[in-house]
Amino acid sequence: MACHRSHHSALIAAFGVISDCARLFSPSRRALLFTDEPGPVAREFLSHHKIIVIWPEGESFVLATPAAETAGA
């Protein structure tokens, strides 16, 4: 899914769409494409929900994969 903003309401709306479509895609394939680098709060939220975050940087794209769960956390 693509999202041009990373503020709270846009992030929640995008998460809702991704959640609605989750039954159609494996968890490793859920991703959100931004037009700019999202802030750390947005990236942490999406990582927690196991959603890949992608944004452009110069002539290429940055891919931030969800953080791996650690034992006992």
Q: How do strand 31-34 and strand 2-3 relate by DSSP bridges? A: parallel
pLDDT given for residue 70 in this prediction: 46
pLDDT in tens, the chain (73 residues): 667 666 678 888 888 888 888 778 776 678 899 989 999 988 998 999 888 999 999 999 999 998 765 444 4
The domain ranges of the chain are 2-64
pLDDT given for residue 55 in this prediction: 94
Q: Determine the 3-state secondary structure of 71 from DSSP.
A: coil
pLDDT given for residue 26 in this prediction: 72
**Cβ(64)–Cβ(52) below 8 Å:** yes
